[in-house]
Structure 1
Amino acid sequence: MSSTIAVSRAQSRPDTWRTVVAASIGNALEWFDLVVYGFFAVVISKLFFPAGNDTVSLLLTLGTFGVSFFMRPLGAIVLGAYADRAGRKAALTLSILLMMVGTLIIAVLPTYQSIGLAAPLILVVARLMQGFSAGGEFGSATAFLAEHVPGRRGYFASWQIASQGLTTLLAALFGMVLTGKLSSDQMASWGWRVPFFFGLLIGPVAWFIRTKLDETPEFLAAETTTTPIRDTFASQKLRLFIGMGIVVLGTVSTYLVLFMPTFAIKQLGLAPSVAFAAIALVGVIQLVCSPIVGHLSDRHGRVRIMLVPAMLLFLLICPAFSYLVAHPTFGTLIAMQIVFGFLMTAYFGSLPGLLSEIFPVQTRTTGMSLAYNIAVTIFGGFGPFIIAWLIQATGSKIAPSFYLMFAAVLSVIALIAARRKLGFR
């Protein structure tokens, strides 16, 4: 009865959208810093990993991008359990503070030429700190959004993905403007630092907004557990594995988008500003369409909606990459990104809502954080590195499509298991 009353009050609250803005702006900042690092991998590789070979330098940079993801499961365990014990608001506030510290270090860090080996070592430490922070962000922000209006869980949780679209758009705009207006020397000297300082300007605003939020009614109405980690591993292993499988395609497609500027510049020979313009389109699609997909998932079922784009991605991605490699023009890249953006968003937009329903309130943040971040660490964080390695090892420029096809198969299996084993439609 108390749970019903709490939910009813939450649905009538005028500050529901303030909740969405608070969770979204913080999440956008978290992901903005991560995406910017991936987008400017080519520049960063020359400044911090001067190996004497551009390919080796790039692989080292992408490897460093992936190493930070080893901290994500730890962040998921620590911050996820903290959120299930102390509340979603407390974890959200802590995660954004940690991300701001990591971003500050990267923004002001001297390059290899100035301080030698200390530069890449400190860069790795900052990336590890950001990885730890991001490990607790997804589960806390998604639970925070999903629990305010449970009757529309898919719609409100989808703003988690929409905020990542905003991240992609902002990072791509920075890339497009900076690479279009600055010379190579200016980019290497100070241009690449601009987006990180921009993130630092937003950070305090996001932190302040989050400190003024109310805790979610669903969390307040539920009995908390003092052992969310043990409970998750003891009685929810099947749910954990299914959740991980569902996340695989979402994370691989996201980090393939993250890799596309590097792919377009290094493999297709396109201008950096052109490559970033194409990525900006994906950000717009994700920002606008994610809430629509989330709304549809509330009405028609999440598994049903997610299966269609998953299978279409499996069927279309290889022919699309083949055509792009054969016709490496701006128009072809734009067309591919539009199709890819719609399919990725159609899958990803329903994912937070489904993931939040797989786990009970008492262990929701821990379960979601673990499922999401283990999958992201294994399949997403090293995605750009794996893709770059596949291209070099196979000698084929369409190799990125093989990785996405593999991810699609895993996620389709997980979605079918969610329907048959857990009863989701």
Structure 2
Amino acid sequence: MTSLGGFLEFYDFIIYALMAVYIADQFFPSHDSFTSMLTTFATFSVGYFVRPLGGLVFGHLGDRFGRKPTFVATVLIMALSTFLMGCLPTYSQVGLWAPLMLVGLRVLQGFSIGGEIPGAMTYLSETVDRRRGLVMSLLFMVLANGVVFGSLVHAFMLWWLPVDEMKAWGWRIPFWLGGTMGICSYVVRKQFQESDLFLQLAKRKAQSAVPLFHLLQSHRRQLLVGIFLILPVATSMTLLFLFTPGYLTKMLGYSAGDVALAGSIGIFLSSVVFIAFGLLADTVSLRSLLCVASGIIVLFSVPVFYWYGAGVDVYSVMLVSALIQGSITGVAPLALSELFPVNVRYSGIAFCYNVSFALFGGLTPVIAMTLIGWTNNLQSPAWYLMVSGLFGLLATCMMSVPRRPSAAQL
């Protein structure tokens, strides 16, 4: 139940990326497809930029007043903003107001997801002492399958509706579906119980008055390590699975249906890799696994984009993408959850997770398109992915967390 909201959050958030081609036509019309897509992805990035703010707000509330209220608030905000995105008028109907309203709703989406995933990580880290690697990887497996579900909805829409109808009105349906599911999740979340460790903390009145200040004063190194740990997670997810639908169809001429289906298969397989690395994390040195996962990114970044440019079967390349993304996501969140004590854990996880996704995940589509424009080389985004793997190796060298701290560590 902890991961149910995250499943829906990931579905709602990535639907925008999957509908990017249609949103570009309806909200950012341009005779130049490159400019139209770049503007659309820039709006996608706005949602990432406000994630740190949402993380700070919900992290503060979670560390001061409890975990449960954040679960209720984040999913409600996400549900309403997602549903309303499907109701927006287009540029041809209201002009500039259309993209402005779209940006506003993207801000609300990003704000809510900034508190969602860190909250789930915090809750699990406080309630699980054994098989923590497996449990954390299961959380992200469910989250990833929210992306799979969104991709399958996209594939179904492409099969069901002609391209013209998808552009005209079909793109709205996935947003309405996500909003409806979000309301259902809100009803379920109201029944959640508070974390026992937080209740013990509150009973002793040991909460940090301002968790962010405490982090900046006493845990600066952990904050930097945490950002570097999540950097390759954010970059690989966004570049390999969220950026590719528009990139492969508009710039490399791949079939939209094949790309959507291959993306779904790739993300599902990456979630299987999560579990494999999570199981290993319960028996093998976490530092060693982080080195292996980061090394996989460094080694396979260039080949993946070379194969796409050479027209290699999209399903085959997605298998390699699944290994790249799945290996690092199977271990990095676990390492992050072990960096901070309970009284600032929610805020610490939220700060690192959201700063990484905002600065590196959120900018990934824009950076990728900019690299392509500067170099006139469609394979140039590979170098950005490779650098993210190097940061993962740097974080591994810097981290100094205990091998397996107790969930109750204060």
Q: So what's the TM-score if we normalise by structure 1?
A: 0.90
Quote the Cα distance in structure 2 between the aligned partners of 1:385 and 1:152.
Answer: 38
Find out whether 1:47 has 2:26 as its counterpart: yes
Provide the residue aligned with 2:317 in structure 1: 336
Find out whether 1:282 has 2:266 as its counterpart: yes
Unmatched tracts of structure 2, length 5 or more: 405-410
Provide the residue aligned with 2:306 in structure 1: 322
Find out whether 1:135 has 2:118 as its counterpart: no
Find out whether 1:120 has 2:103 as its counterpart: no
Q: CA contact under 8 A between 1:249 and 1:404: conserved in structure 2?
A: yes
Provide the residue aligned with 1:10 in structure 2: none
Q: CA contact under 8 A between 2:236 and 2:324: conserved in structure 1?
A: no
Shift of 1:377: 0.6
Considering only aligned residues, what root-mean-square deviation do their CA atoms show, in Å?
Answer: 1.5
Give the letter for the 1:74 counterpart: L
Matches within 5 A, 1:152-171: 152-171=131-150
Quote the Cα distance in structure 1 between the aligned partners of 2:215 and 2:284.
Answer: 29
Q: CA contact under 8 A between 1:154 and 1:354: conserved in structure 2?
A: no
Shift of 1:319: 2.0
2:335 pairs with one of 326, 349, 354: 354
Provide the residue aligned with 2:45 in structure 1: 66
Give the letter for the 1:299 counterpart: T
Q: CA contact under 8 A between 1:147 and 1:153: conserved in structure 2?
A: no
Quote the Cα distance in structure 1 between the aligned partners of 2:330 and 2:197.
Answer: 22
Partner of 2:344, secondary structure, is: helix
Unmatched tracts of structure 1, length 5 or more: 1-21
Provide the residue aligned with 1:24 in structure 2: 3
Change (3 A) 1:36 1:165: same
Shift of 1:159: 2.8
Provide the residue aligned with 2:397 in structure 1: 416
Quote the Cα distance in structure 2 between the aligned partners of 1:165 and 1:233.
Answer: 31
Give the letter for the 2:259 counterpart: A
Give the letter for the 2:379 counterpart: I
Find out whether 1:386 has 2:367 as its counterpart: yes
Give the letter for the 1:133 counterpart: S
Partner of 1:23, secondary structure, is: coil
Quote the Cα distance in structure 2 between the aligned partners of 1:107 and 1:365.
Answer: 32
Partner of 1:123, secondary structure, is: helix
Q: CA contact under 8 A between 2:81 and 2:179: conserved in structure 1?
A: no
Between Structure 1 and Structure 2, the one with more helix by share is 1
Partner of 1:299, secondary structure, is: coil
Shift of 1:207: 1.2
Q: CA contact under 8 A between 1:165 and 1:285: conserved in structure 2?
A: no
Aligned residues with identical type, % of pairs: 31
Shift of 1:206: 1.2
Provide the residue aligned with 1:106 in structure 2: 85
Residues 164-186 of structure 1 deviation map (CA, whole Å, 9 limit, x = unaligned): 32122111112212123321211
Residues 58-112 of structure 1 deviation map (CA, whole Å, 9 limit, x = unaligned): 1111001112222111111101111111111111111111111211220111111
Quote the Cα distance in structure 2 between the aligned partners of 1:201 and 1:101.
Answer: 9
Shift of 1:351: 2.0
Residues 126-178 of structure 1 deviation map (CA, whole Å, 9 limit, x = unaligned): 00011111111121111112222122322222233112321221111122121
